[in-house]
Amino acid sequence: MNTLGKWLYLVGLLVAGIVGLVGFSAPWLSIILVVVGIVAAILYFDTSDLVGAGVRYLVLAVVFSVLDAIPLVGPYLTGFFGGVLAFLGPVLLTALVMHFIRKYFFAKK
């Protein structure tokens, strides 16, 4: 199952980035990417590195906010990173929920 989660994560990142790059938006595709992100987080994401992943997400969000200033390629980069951020949001939220469930409900006392 770990391999399936890894592939779902990788394919989800690529599809979200490419969709953001070309500017395509459809509600059904957004729902599919959210579901793929949740499943990938459950099967693959390591909750022990949640702080590091959160910091990387925040750095990516800051970079995303300033990419539009780059002439010629800025809008394309903004679209790509916007798609990646939209995919990573549900992944990290699911990982956070899993972390709290494991820590507070299934912890051995």
Q: Are 54 and 3 in contact (CB under 8 A)?
A: no
Scanning the structure block, which residue is given the tokens 């729902």? Answer: 31
Question: How many CB atoms neighbour CB 10 within 10 A?
Answer: 12
Q: In the chain, what are the domain boundaries?
A: 2-104
- pLDDT over 70 at 38, yes or no: yes
Q: Are 91 and 45 in contact (CB under 8 A)?
A: yes
The pLDDT tens digits for 51-77 are 999 999 999 999 998 988 888 888 888
In 3D, which of 84, 7, 80 has the Cα closest to residue 40? 7
pLDDT over 70 percentage in the chain:
98
Answer with the residue of higher pLDDT: 74 or 29: 29
Scanning the structure block, which residue is given the tokens 């709290």? Answer: 100
- pLDDT over 80 at 1, yes or no: no
